[in-house]
Amino acid sequence: MTTLFTGSESLRVRGERTTFVLTLCSLPVTVILLGWLLQHQVSWQEIALLLIGAMLYVAFARGRLLGGGLRIHAGQFGAVHSVVDECARMMRMPMPHVFIRDDPFVPVIAIGIGDPYAIVISAQYVEHFQPDELRFLIGRELGHIASGHTRYTSLLSSNGRENGVIAVAFGAWLRKIDDTDDRAGLLCCGSLDAAMRAIAVSAFGPVGRRVALGAFAGQLKELHAEPSLRLAEWTASTPYATNRIAALHRFARDPLYQTWSHRFAANAGAPPVSEAAETVYASFWRRTGAFFVDVIVVQTLVPAARALGTKLTVTDSDLKNITAPAAAPRVVHDAVKSIAANPHTSITFNNDALLWLALGVYAVVLVALIGQTFGMMVLDLRVIRANHDPRVGFGRAIGRYASLVASMLAVVGLLSMFRRIQPYEKWSRTRLVSGSVAIR
């Protein structure tokens, strides 16, 4: 089946996916070189923690936008809302959330590693773009979402600002996807002149309105005449503006442009695409992914468990010498005296037990307070009550994880691990659902 970014008529530029694979394959070498330059051996655990941190930052982005950004709808910046709605219809995709925030550096950016996605427009640029120019910029950001690029770009830079290390490590792929998404933008606005003006204003601000586009595009000849002048682009996460304009000229002459142009025009009057009905209950793979993220977080945040050595042992003599605080209730004093008088055996905790204990406390506290662990935030999951009440509370959270342990000991948990509703969730009357569904 042919869609915007799959099949024989895909809008992806040639070599985009190959470049992505090669970039990932060369990443270990990049990490080693970076560690050598910084005189620090970068561990994979540190990389995993950075990745999880980036996922959490993106997961928190919706809250930051709702709290500090301006949400666009038909009654607020209706003209901008209409442009996004029209472009989404053309591309036959659900309309994402749209926000305006104060950002002097990035005119428009799409973010999100899963639904709900968002397009964020700079308050300092929104008034400078004409409708056809904004249509180009919105179209290319919708292209980022539809092609799956934001799942990775949001982790590399969720605010859209260039980072030197990221540009060197992923720049080749990032420049490819910019050319891909420029194609979607050109199809949405339908005007090469509007696309070039949008690029100029994005690059130079209001002064870009006075740029002679023909002369500006002609600067590319000078770049091609001296190959060394193109080296700086290799360390950037976006292609030169002159190269973007040249690539759009080539695409406008490509038969593929004419093919998709007719389809976009036909789709403009079609009804909007509603969001696909999402499975409410978490799948096995999303549960598993959230669990492994949480394990990595706990192993990183609780280094004391590893620093304790192989074992932590409480001996008979230790038990004999324990005392209760003076202010403790009498029942506590009696219990302590009983232990001290009859120390039957030593108690041993190994690192694995401590890590599992830390994981249990971590999960209970976070689920009780906010309904999510960090892993659940990353995978867009949330624990709620069986009656869909989002307030879990400590009693219900403790019951959930105590039931989980019981189900594993009874083997019933292992036999039903692929079910959307686990036995321990029925016992504790809790559910693990899509986070976005739970708060709508």
**DSSP letter string over 335-385?**
HHHHHHH---S-EEEEHHHHHHHHHHHHHHHHHHHHS--HHHHHTTEEEEE
Q: What pLDDT shows up at residue 57?
A: 74
CA distances from 83 to 63, 133, 160, 195, 268 (A): 24, 10, 21, 15, 11
The answer to whether 53 touches 60, Cβ cutoff 8 Å, is no
Q: What pLDDT shows up at residue 308?
A: 41
Alpha-carbon distance of 11 to 384, in angstroms, equals 41
Using DSSP, state whether 119 is helix, strand or coil.
Answer: strand
Q: What pLDDT shows up at residue 305?
A: 47
The answer to whether 383 touches 392, Cβ cutoff 8 Å, is yes
Q: What pLDDT shows up at residue 250?
A: 93
Sequence-distant (≥ 6) Cβ neighbours of residue 111 within 8 angstroms: 58, 61, 117, 118, 120, 150, 154, 158
Q: What pLDDT shows up at residue 346?
A: 52
Q: How far apart are the first and last CA of the chain?
A: 32
- What does the block give as tokens for 183? 């194609």
The answer to whether 293 touches 378, Cβ cutoff 8 Å, is yes
- Mean pLDDT split into 10-residue runs, the chain, 440 residues: 77 90 82 71 68 72 80 91 93 91 87 82 88 94 91 75 73 90 94 91 83 76 67 70 89 93 89 66 87 83 52 54 56 58 55 79 88 81 86 91 89 81 90 66
Q: What pLDDT shows up at residue 55?
A: 72
The alpha-helical segments, DSSP class H, found in 273-349 are 284-301, 303-307, 316-321, 330-341
Q: What pLDDT shows up at residue 223?
A: 72
Q: What pLDDT shows up at residue 372?
A: 85
The answer to whether 213 touches 196, Cβ cutoff 8 Å, is yes
Read off the pTM: 0.70
